[in-house]
Structure 1
Amino acid sequence: MIDESAIAEPLLKAFLGNDDMTREKAMQIPALAGAINEIAETVANVPIKLYKRGKKRVEEVKGDWRVHLLNEDTGDTLDANMMKQALVKDYLLDGSGNIYVDWMDNEIRSLRYVQSNHVSYAQNADVIFKEYVVLVQGKRYFPEQFIRVLRSTRDGMKGIGIVEENSKILSVSYNSLKYEEGLVKTGGNKKGFVKSAKNLTQEAIDKLKAAWRKLYSNNTENVIILNNGLEFQEASNTSVEMQLNENKQTNAKEIRTILGVPDNIGTEQGDKVFIKYCVNAFLSAFMVALNKSMLLEAEKEDYFFAADTYELTKGDADKRFGAYKEAIETGWMQVDEVREKENMEPLGLEFIKLGLQDVLYDPKTKVVYTPNTNQSNKIGGEKEGQELKLEQMETEKKSSLTDMSTLQTETADQSQTEKEDISLKE
């Protein structure tokens, strides 16, 4: 059964709500628009890859059509970059981003972005076993047919964007912008009032108003003449006027705080915070939605989508590889373990470096090998070490005897050949 109150709720908010902040007004605030565009453009440039979990390692799946849809051509009027930017903006501003997955049998033909203002929902009345359908232009769809990314959701059906969640601070910032616009339109002229020693006729009042209107219209008419008995009294500045610039800076900082954008973005530390709390936070939710809606049921156990954030963390590559180097040299990690963390194919090197670069230890056979001296020693006690040494000595002795036997045979053959040559000469 469909709960009709769920459909009526947005209409009630629209008619009864006291806050008239809209998405269009919010995006006129420079601090908000700049921060959201920065997040959207960064996310859109992150490539998405498909991986498969193997028994020993994770392998990248090459040539899958779904990867092409997510990174290049979506089959829609928007390309992949545009689609992801629009998705991020809907997610942050409206609380939900929606992409229709155009399945044909077991293949996806296209990905169709749907604007959030065209999407509504109808849910059942059960607060425990919640179910709902997605409504687009009067048609019903199942939630599984969409890639849906929700912000601050409590029911898994609809999210809450910053336009609704933080409407007060956005309204203050927007009204400050409008107030500043009013000052610019008046040419920066001071506010005040005109005092008259005697009563003015309606005609004189109308002429005075018209002259004052021209003065504040920021055009060439910047002089007004007051007749005898008229005096202009300047109004004192309000606290808002005196602290306008300070308020703008404070509001901009609070808006960045809402989005998680640091003040020191552009620095190494600021970029780390931006990537961690702004970019990766959305990408994590986006990958979960992709795995839910773009994988077949038989694939969900072994396959998964993941964002390739290498380009974003390229600045930290030196530190990351430095940590790997130290772990390898101290024996905490093996080369193949490092390669596995980087989603690279192992080389089959099962040695651990022990301090010196020319000493190798095989943990399976417990043998320490020194290439410079061509010696191997077995770890596990003096007896095992002596046995290994005796085996080496025995091997060397056999090799020496073999070499001597070969040499004697060659000498005897040479002597016999010389005797035969002498006999022939005689």
Structure 2
Amino acid sequence: MGLFNSISSIFRGRDAPTDRTSGSAYSFFMGGSTSGKRVNERTAMQMTAVYSCVRILSEAVAGLPLQFYRYTADGGKEKAVDHPLYFLLHDEPNPEMTSFVFRETLMTHLLLWGNAYSQIIRNARGEIIALYPLMPDRMTVNRDGDGQLYYEYNMSTDDAHTLKGATVRLQPHDVLHIPGLGFDGLVGYSPIAMAKNAIGMAIACEEYGAKFFANGAAPSGVLEHPGTIKDPSRVRESWQSTFGGSVNANKVAVLEEGMKYTPISISPNEAQFLETRKFQIDEIARIFRVPPHMVGDLEKSSFSNIEQQSLEFVKYTLDPWVARWEQAMVRALLTPEEKKTYFFKFNVDGLLRGDYQSRMNGYATARQNGWMSANDIRELENLDRIPEEAGGDLYLINGNMTKLEDAGIFAAGASESTASEPEDTGQSRDKPPEQRKRGYS
């Protein structure tokens, strides 16, 4: 009976949950790591590799052209420039920031906290008039007694001076929520939290290197005296003030009274200090799936493969993030009726473009085979259109090409004409050429 009671309680909890979601319950556990260094979103950003990865991805998503389309009656698509959402997402989501800054901010939240939240402001008619970013570390995703999701946001004096420490409850239709990778499909987990030990080790290596140079870029050691020193702390402080610090590096030490300096530490080279730091940079780039050459590590990059690595960055790194953005915006910003007609699209074609010669060769193939016009090509190259009367919208093919079925008809006609000619008995060889050609006897 106890087993059945446990199972029934599980299903009751699933049907009517009252606790917060499992993803929302995840915490940093005070940010500690096995290296002994405190790791959170802000300390992690002090690492150059983390800062570089976050900046690369956030600026890449923010710099992509974001278009708002509608399906046309003929099965095509067109920009919905007359829809209010086009201006909000393409130009100004709110009066305080541009579209680039808005998307850069949300992408930074998504990379550091695993979630990006934005409050949706509507007018009295229910139309969206503004989008404002919300800090992920002050947002909690909960369920009510009926199992419905809601969002709780802790206000601060930075948000509104009239609300101090207040908690605002927002409904799902009032929040644009872009979750990252998570376990419950509702709330994403912070990549910084999940990889805090790797980042903590990188912070520890960086701090070790800084202290190494601060202590004179020389191994620590022991000062030996043949007798007894009455005040060893004074001798230690005198030695540190004279030879400690990078400004005192390589000074010549003069030892008196038979003192002897004995180093007790191995050099950073022998400890593979630089190799460890380089590996941690690769480790952080691996967390964000950023090619090493984009964070300044060109050891495994060359002119022959760096373009391919850039294409892989678009396909395997940017595309999943772009898909999260597009689907989250469709879910939160469009009505059920609008979802049948409208859609959002990030244009990544510019990042997939090859060099000039490769593009021209591809355009030539498309033009000669009839599936691109001159204006199609000029639009991709950001050139002005050729007027329609001048042939800018014509689709052309090579004149020496024909359909296979037409070639078969021609061959059949040729064989029939050959069969209708009389058999040559050899007597016509003596006749004039024009008579032999016409089959005269």
- Residue type of the alignment partner of 2:172: P
**2:239 is the counterpart of 1:212:** yes
SS in 2 for 1:188: coil
Closer/same/farther in 2, CA of residues 15 and 236 from structure 1, 3 Å limit: closer
Select 2:352's aligned residue among 310, 313, 322. 313
1:248/1:64 CA distance change after superposition, 3 Å: same
How do residues 141-180 of structure 1 correspond to structure 2 at under 5 angstroms? 141-180=170-209
- Pair 1:96 & 2:122 matched: no
Give the structure 2 partner of residue 13 of structure 1.
29
Deviation at 1:224, TM superposition (A): 5.6
Q: 1:304 to 1:110 in 2, by over 3 A?
A: same
TM-score computed with the length of structure 2 as normaliser: 0.69
In structure 1, distance between residues paired with 2:91 and 2:21: 41
C-alpha distance in 1 between matches for 2:75 and 2:287: 42
Distance 1:311 1:334, change over 3 A: closer
Q: 1:248-290 CA deviation, whole Å, 9 max, x = no partner?
A: 2111122212212123459321221122222222111101111
Equivalent AA in structure 1 for residue 30 of structure 2:
A
Cα distance in 1 for residues equivalent to 2:78 and 2:20? 48
Could you say which residue in structure 1 is the equivalent of 2:55? 37
SS of 1:199's equivalent in the other structure is coil
User: 298, 309, 326: which is aligned to 1:270?
Assistant: 309
1:109 aligned to which of 129, 136, 140: 129
Q: Residue deviations 1:79-134, cap 9 Å, x none?
A: 221111111111111101111111222311111011212212223699xxx64211
Give the equivalent residue in structure 2 for 1:47: 65
Instruction: Tell whether the 8 Å contact from 1:263 to 1:270 is kept in structure 2 after alignment.
Output: no
Rounded Cα–Cα distance in structure 1 between residues aligned with 2:284 and 2:261 = 40
Pair member with larger Rg: 1
Q: Deviations over 1:50-107 (max 9, x none)?
A: 1112342122212332122112222153322111111111111110111111122231
Find the counterpart in structure 1 of residue 211 from structure 2.
Answer: 182
Amino acid at match of 1:205: P
Partner of 1:419: none
Partner of 2:14: none
Q: Give the direction of change, closer, same or farther, for the CA distance of 1:327–1:6 in structure 2 (3 Å limit).
A: closer
Q: Matches of 1:34 and 1:226 in 2, distance apart?
A: 47
Deviations 1:350-405 (A, max 9, x none): 9995xx426677x9xx999xxxxxxxx999986xx99xxxxxxxxxxxxxxxxxxx
Task: Tell me: CA distance 1:153–1:315, structure 2 relative to 1, closer, same or farther (3 Å).
Answer: same
Match of 2:263 among 234, 247, 253: 234
Indicate which of 139, 144, 149 corresponds to 1:119.
Answer: 139
Q: Which structure 1 segments of 5+ residues have no match?
A: 369-376, 387-426
| Identity rate, percent | 17
Of residues 330, 333, 340, the one that matches 1:294 is 333
Deviates more, 1:64-73 or 1:161-170: 64-73
CA distance in 2 between counterparts of 1:57 and 1:5 reads 41
Equivalent in the alignment of 1:389: none
Offset of residue 322 of structure 1: 5.4
Counterpart of 1:242 in 2: which secondary structure? coil
Q: 1:17 to 1:3 in 2, by over 3 A?
A: farther
- RMSD of aligned residue pairs (Cα, Å): 4.1
Matches within 5 A, 1:404-423: none
**1:12 Cα deviation after fit:** 8.1
Residue 135 (structure 2) pairs with residue 140 (structure 1): no
How do residues 382-393 of structure 1 correspond to structure 2 at under 5 angstroms? none
List aligned pairs for 1:324-335, cutoff 5 A: 326=365
Of stretches 166-175 and 238-247 in structure 1, the one that deviates more from structure 2 is 238-247
Alignment TM-score, normalising by the size of structure 1: 0.72
2:31·2:40 contact (CA, 8 Å) conserved in 1?
A: no
The count of residues paired between Structure 1 and Structure 2 equals 362
Q: Give distance in 2, aligned partners of 1:325 and 1:64.
A: 37
The separation in 1 between residues aligned to 2:202 and 2:114, in whole angstroms, is: 20
Q: Which protein is richer in strand relative to its size?
A: 1
